[in-house]
Amino acid sequence: MNIESFSKPCGALIHGVDLSKPLLAEQVAAIRKAWLSHQVVAFPAQQLGLEDIERFAFDMGPRGEDPFIKGLPGHPHVVEVKREANEASKLFAETWHSDWSFLPSPPAGTVLYGEVIPPTGGDTLFADQYAAYDALPLALRIPLAGRMGVHSARGGYSRGGLYGESDKGRSMAILYNDSALKTHLHPLVLTHPETGRKALFVNPGYTIGIEGMAQDEAMDVLRQLFKFQVEERFIYRHPWSPGMLTLWDNRCLLHAATGGYEGHRRLLYRVTVAQQVQ
């Protein structure tokens, strides 16, 4: 196995491993080590079925949940991230976010496999939140100390949300419902449970307030953080190719989808990896 790291804030390619076959324990350990070190790792030129994608994901950690997207028949933990060639709905997941940060226990990782990749566009942007925290100015760092952020899916998956009742013509199997109105608290500065490093844990997609802070004041602080945490110096732009499998760490990264492939079909399979029980 060969790891090709990038001269970017995060990201690496892993070569020399066939994910269509069960991994040895030492391979799993090496991949998890690379993932924790580089935050996002990709395996190009894999030929994988759904069972292969699931097996890899659950070598990395426990089964996670996808509360607002319907799983595939026979593979309930696999969801399609899909856009048809003639689809005109708003691009899915183009707002910066950490997957499902509104859950009581947000997921550790996400696995995404490129089944149908357009010839142009569709890159995924990743923003390194270790680096963002390390570079945070004192004026922004002080208001965060000991504070909890309020996270909710209401902006996306409630009836009135972006993917709610008014979202028509979308090919993805999104299941909006009133449970999206719930809120959960998470530290604004997260200590990664496996690396011990500190990372910003707020995102424009799901963080809607700060516990114990007036909403106007909280949104002022959050807007400053949202702008700062995705500055160009923290970003890695990830290009896709057919058969590429990518694994990223939601505890220390934000990500966002990009378009640019109008007129082309795009299909990826996604599996969520839960936190390890400590």
Tell whether the model's pLDDT for residue 8 goes beyond 90. no
Count of domains in the chain?
1
What pLDDT, in 10s, does the model give residues 179-198?
999 999 999 999 999 999 99
The pLDDT of 15-43, averaged and rounded, is 98
- Please give the share of the chain, as a percent, with pLDDT higher than 90: 96
pLDDT digits (tens, 9 = 90+) for 208-235: 999 999 999 999 999 999 999 999 999 9
How high is the pLDDT of residue 278?
63
Mean pLDDT of 136-163: 95
- Specify if 77 maps to a domain: yes
Q: What is the DSSP letter of 251?
A: T
**High-pLDDT (> 70) share of the chain, %:** 100
In this model, does residue 277 exceed pLDDT 90? no
The CATH number assigned to the domain holding 54 equals: 3.60.130.10
Establish if 278 belongs to a structural domain.
no
Token pair for residue 158? 């409630």
Domain boundaries, position 257: 2-273
The edge-to-edge listing of strands for the beta sheet with 124-128 is 235-238, 124-128, 253-257
pLDDT digit string (tens) for 73-101? Answer: 999 999 999 999 999 999 999 999 999 99
Residue 202 pLDDT level (bands cut at 50, 70, 90): very high
Write the CA distances from 150 to 104, 131, 206, 209, 210, integer angstroms: 11, 22, 8, 5, 5
**How far, in Å, CA of 39 to CA of 2, rounded?**
16
Question: What radius of gyration, in Å, describes the C-alpha atoms of the chain?
Answer: 18
- Residue showing tokens 């969801």: 79
Q: What is the pTM of this model?
A: 0.97
Look at residue 100 and tell me if it is in a domain.
yes
Give domain status of residue 253, yes or no: yes
Which residue in 136, 139, 146 sits closest to 229, CA to CA?
A: 136
Q: Is residue 37 part of a domain?
A: yes
DSSP letter assigned to residue 181? G
- CA distances from residue 274 to 4, 9, 77, 111, 259 in whole angstroms, order as listed: 26, 24, 12, 11, 28
162 lies in a domain?
Answer: yes
Element (H, E) at 152: strand 148-152
Q: What Å distances lie between residue 143 and 113, 127, 213, 223, 240, CA to CA?
A: 39, 22, 10, 13, 38
